Amino acid sequence: MTDRSAGTADAYGTRDPDSLARRAGTRANPDNDQHFLVDDRVLDRLSAYLPEDADVSHVLEVGGGAGALTDRLLATVGANDPDPAGRVTVIERDPPFAAFLREEFADAVDAGTLEVIEGDALAVDLPPFTACVANLPYGISSEITFRLLPEGKPLVLTFQAEFADRMVASAGESAYGRLSVSAQHYADVEIVERIPKEAFDPQPAVESAVVRCTPRDPDYEVGDEAFFLRFVKALFTQRRKTVRNAIRNTAHISGLDRPDAVVDAAGEDVLSRRPGTLDPSAFAALAELAREHGSPAEA
């Protein structure tokens, strides 16, 4: 692989991932959930997966590492231009990598087109952002995704392939579950590319996938979003039971005071099914029935 980096502001979008890693002087540590995406072709495509009308005036990246994706995102927001149209914020937990990003992209930091936040993405305050493109640390995939989705912004995120398959699964499929319903509550979710493990350094044990989340309002109403998500979680802990038994067995999770009243109010066509056969709108209707008849406790 050729080192294309000039190390200057006019080269954003061209830095070689391997050369960046060498200059950083610290290898990615898989024990710290670090697997850096080093395939130029995949890196070059990631931001292009954002919806065509996405606002890229402030792009968020979670887990900047040695900066290969940061470099591409700076090009995406126009940092190569004298008067850039946007900016990038990177959240990086590892102090040596955060320091390296500030040094490697010092021109962008000085110009105000790059901010590096050193800290845990699950703990720091998320900055306002218009879109997010990130190669997420897989160990926090679920937690960080459900910090990002409620923001209602376009997301392009890499996940373990199995996690991505669960996000996009439809009712009745074996991969369909709580993750599917919860993610699809916030956005249209689709796998746009599958990535072999050879595209990472060090290589993870599993294949990966790129998921695009395009925000939209659901085609159903929920009166209490926190309860809806908690109710979905509860029923999927009993996914092999009928909905009738799942409602009765999980009141301690959903917070229902009167689960039997919910069962009495629901139709047999729903009660006799398994949770994995209910699409998100059916879950929403059942959750509203539960709120009306089951006196759910406050979240």
CATH number at residue 78: 3.40.50.150
- Three-state SS letters, 217-234: CCCCCCCCHHHHHHHHHH
Please indicate, yes or no, whether residues 236 and 211 belong to a single structural domain of this protein. no
Domain count, the chain: 2
- The boundaries of the domain holding residue 276 are 225-294
Q: How many CB atoms lie within 10 A of CB 14?
A: 16
pLDDT at residue 9, as a whole number: 44
pLDDT at residue 31, as a whole number: 67
Query: Residue 35 annotated as binding?
Result: yes
* Residues contacting 200, CB < 8 A, separation 6+: 35, 36, 37, 38, 39, 208
pLDDT at residue 35, as a whole number: 84
Q: Which residue, 225, 222, 243, 224, is CA-closest to 234?
A: 243
Query: Residue 58 annotated as binding?
Result: no
In DSSP notation, 237-255 reads TTTTS-HHHHHHHTHHHH-
Please indicate, yes or no, whether residues 63 and 174 belong to a single structural domain of this protein. yes
Please indicate, yes or no, whether residues 192 and 54 belong to a single structural domain of this protein. yes
pLDDT at residue 54, as a whole number: 96
pLDDT at residue 271, as a whole number: 97
pLDDT digits (tens, 9 = 90+) for 56-83: 999 999 999 999 999 999 999 999 998 9
d(CA 34, CA 229): 30
Residue 186 lies in a domain: yes
d(CA 200, CA 241): 40
Residue 220 lies in a domain: no
Please indicate, yes or no, whether residues 207 and 267 belong to a single structural domain of this protein. no
Residue 299 lies in a domain: no
* Domain stops at, among 153, 184, 215: 215
Please indicate, yes or no, whether residues 72 and 97 belong to a single structural domain of this protein. yes
pLDDT digits (tens, 9 = 90+) for 151-197: 999 999 999 999 999 999 999 999 999 999 999 999 999 999 999 99
pLDDT at residue 160, as a whole number: 95
d(CA 208, CA 161): 4
Residue 56 lies in a domain: yes
* Domain stops at, among 164, 196, 215: 215
Tokens at 168, concatenated: 């996009």
Residue 4 lies in a domain: no
d(CA 52, CA 55): 9
The identity of residue 127, as a single letter, is P
Report the phi/psi class of residue 186: left, alpha or beta, with left for phi > 0 and alpha for psi in -120 to 50.
alpha
Query: Residue 185 annotated as binding?
Result: no
Please indicate, yes or no, whether residues 201 and 257 belong to a single structural domain of this protein. no
CATH number at residue 241: 1.10.8
Please indicate, yes or no, whether residues 142 and 210 belong to a single structural domain of this protein. yes
Residue 97 lies in a domain: yes
Residue 67 lies in a domain: yes
Say if CB 51 and CB 151 are below 8 A apart: no
Mean pLDDT by 10 residues, the chain (299 residues): 42 92 81 83 96 96 96 96 94 95 97 97 96 93 95 97 97 97 98 96 93 97 95 97 98 96 96 97 97 76
How buried is 253 (Cβ within 10 angstroms: 0-12 exposed, 13-18 middle, 19+ buried)?
Answer: middle
Please indicate, yes or no, whether residues 209 and 231 belong to a single structural domain of this protein. no
Instruction: Kindly report whether the global pTM for this prediction surpasses the value 0.85.
Output: yes
Please indicate, yes or no, whether residues 238 and 119 belong to a single structural domain of this protein. no
Residue 33 lies in a domain: yes
